[in-house]
Amino acid sequence: MIKGLAILSFSFLLGMWSGELLGSWLGINANVGGVGFAMIFLLLIKEYFNKKGCWKADLEFGIEFWNKLYIPVVIAMAASLNVKSALSSGTLAILAGIIPVFIAFWVFKILIKNLPSSHE
Amino acid sequence: MNELTQVLDKNGLIVAFLLVGLLTWITDIFSKKVLKSRIPGSALAIFLALFFGYLGGVFADGEKGLADIALFKGLSVLGGSMFRDFAIVATAIGASFLLIRKSGLLGLISLILGIAVFFISGVALAWVMGYRDAVSLCTIGAGACTYIVGPVTGGALGASSEVIALSIGTGVVKTIAVTIFTPVFAKKIGLGSPGSAMAFGGIMGTSSGVAAGLAATDPKLVPYGAVIATFYTGLGCLVCPSLFYLVLRILFE
């Protein structure tokens, strides 16, 4: 179990590091895609272990636990967002927060329709 | 009683596990028995959590929703960026590397499209509401992307603190809107496959909103949406205070 968790942590730290490096290379003080890189590292490591035949269910259990913990983490995050100030920072914040979302839903619908390859 | 308060105070994270577990338990039963599973229990739980976050803001008058009340402070640890990012990375274990590689181009197109759509409509709304200077317009447009791009852009351009606060507010409203409306509209807009989830992550961008909205729609889609969405904020921080600002300055000044 702990070995799987170690693999997850290793991918996470490596990914975050890549994100920070890319950020400072681009000259912005932000982590660019760190989580995305970490996910790709994790998938690559899994692929490699699978090919070598040493990916075991026990390894996956340590990662699966965090995978399952994902929704609870989101629930906790939602409860600790600054919902009140978002709603009270005025009409513009509410309009500019909601209307573009609907436009984006519409753009998404068109994009998906015109790119049938994404339906797999 | 004093002893209990002490225990709860010392073990905030454990208290958060208990609270979130109880909330999930209750909403799961409610979803199955009362709503006949028409709305997933996790969507209800996330929505209720937002409501509690609002109540927390009303009672504690802080910036962290319910987590500003001492008893619930562990929620900000469990829901903080470290655990959130770690858990998102763990969801990749259920994703297929081949699919992600195949949809790479679609992801890139949707990222560019997404940032442009939110920035332009945010700027347009700010203009309608009476803002005319390029710095404020740019900051509010960036806030319409995510609540991180907004203050980063505003800080870089030297916007007033009122405008920066407004841009953060806009970004948080966006996250909440994406969280609530994604499960509602998922079927109607054709969101259901891993490829479409990746495009969705690129267009919507807010990693918390995309991940929460997809989790409420179909947890299997979360890693695909999240892997693209995590690039959105970084890309936004890159183009909003530079390229987009220059365009606005040419247009408005």
Spatial separation of the C-alpha atoms in residues B148 and B143, rounded to whole Å = 7
Does residue B186 sit at the A interface (CB-CB below 8 Å)? no
How many distinct structural domains can be found in chain B? 2
Tokens of A89: 């920072």
Residues of A in contact with B222 (CB under 8 A): 70
pLDDT at position A119 is: 46
Is a pLDDT exceeding 90 seen at residue B242?
no
Q: A57: distance to nearest CA of chain B, Å?
A: 12
Interface residue B142 vs chain A (CB under 8 A): no
Lowest mean pLDDT among B30-39, B72-81, B108-117, B179-188: B30-39
Q: What is the pLDDT of residue B55?
A: 87
Closest CA to B43 of B216, B185, B186: B216
Q: CB–CB of A78 and B50 under 8 A?
A: yes
On whether the CB atoms of residues B143 and B149 are closer than 8 A, the answer is yes
Task: Give me the DSSP letters along B196-241.
Answer: HHHHHHHHH--HHHHHHHHHHH-GGGHHHHHHHHHHHHHHHHHHII
Cα(B173)–Cα(B118) distance, integer angstroms:
13
Does B84 reside within a domain? no
SS3 state of residue B106? helix
Return the higher-pLDDT residue of A120 and B127.
B127
Label residue A13 by pLDDT band (50, 70, 90): very high
User: A108 to chain B, minimum CA–CA distance in Å?
Assistant: 7
List CB contacts of B228: < 8 A, sequence separation 6 or more: A36, B107, B110, B111, B198, B199, B201, B202
Q: Supply the pTM of this predicted model.
A: 0.74
What is the per-residue pLDDT across A72-92, written as a single tens digit (0 to 9) for each?
887 887 788 777 776 766 788
Q: Tell me how close the Cα of A44 comes to any Cα of chain B, in angstroms.
A: 8
Same domain, B244 and B206: yes
B128 and B212 part of one domain: yes
Structural domain contains residue B87: no
Say yes or no: B50 and B172 in one domain: no
* Domain co-membership, B66 together with B126: no
Q: What mean pLDDT is predicted for residues B228-249?
A: 83
Domain identity same for B68 and B113? no
Nearest to A83 among B24, B65, B90 (CB): B65
Cβ neighbours for B243, distance < 8 A, ≥ 6 positions apart: none
- For residues B142 and B63, membership in a common domain is answered with no
Which A residues, 44 through 73, put their C-beta within 8 Å of a C-beta on chain B? 44, 46-47, 60, 63-67, 69-73
Q: Do B49 and A63 touch (CB under 8 A)?
A: no
pLDDT given at position B123: 95
Give B53's contacts in chain A (Cβ within 8 Å). Answer: 78-84
Q: How many C-beta atoms lie closer than 10 Å to residue B115's C-beta? A: 27
Q: pLDDT per residue over B161-183, tens digit each?
A: 778 878 888 888 898 889 889 98
The yes-or-no verdict on residue A46 having pLDDT over 70 is yes
Distance CA(B71)–CA(B204), nearest Å, equals 34
In this complex, do B230 and A34 lie within 8 Å of one another by their Cβ atoms? yes
The pLDDT of residue A31: 67
Residue of A nearest to B24 (CA): A72
Q: Does the structure show a pLDDT above 70 at A29?
A: no
The token duo for A26 is 């681009």
Establish if B225 belongs to a structural domain: yes
Cα separation, A104 vs B230, whole angstroms: 17
Domain assignment of residue B89, yes or no: no
Residues B36 and B159 in one domain: no
pLDDT of residue B179: 86
For residue A120, name the pLDDT band (cuts at 50, 70, 90).
Answer: very low
Are B163 and B40 contained in the same domain? no
| Nearby residues of A110 by Cβ (< 8 Å), 6 or more positions away | none
The neighbour count for residue B57, using CB atoms within 10 Å, is: 23
- The reply to whether B108 and B166 lie within a common domain is yes
B24 at A interface, C-beta within 8 A: yes
B77, B109, B137 - which closes a domain: B77
Q: How far apart are the first and last CA of chain B?
A: 64
Q: What's at B201, amino acid-wise? A: G
Supply the range of the domain harboring residue B57.
Answer: 2-77
Which helix (H) or strand (E) segment holds residue B75: the answer is helix B75-78
Q: How many other CB atoms sit within 10 Å of the CB of residue B193?
A: 18
pLDDT for residue B148: 78
Q: What is the average per-residue pLDDT within B113-139?
A: 92
The interaxial angle of helices B12-33 and A70-79, nearest 10 deg, is 100
Residues B47-67: pLDDT tens digits? 788 788 888 888 887 777 788
- Whether A96 sits inside 8 A of B190 (CB atoms) is no
**Minimum CA–CA partner of B242 in chain A:** A28
Is the same domain home to B72 and B101?
no
Contact residues, chain B, for A16 at CB < 8 Å: 85
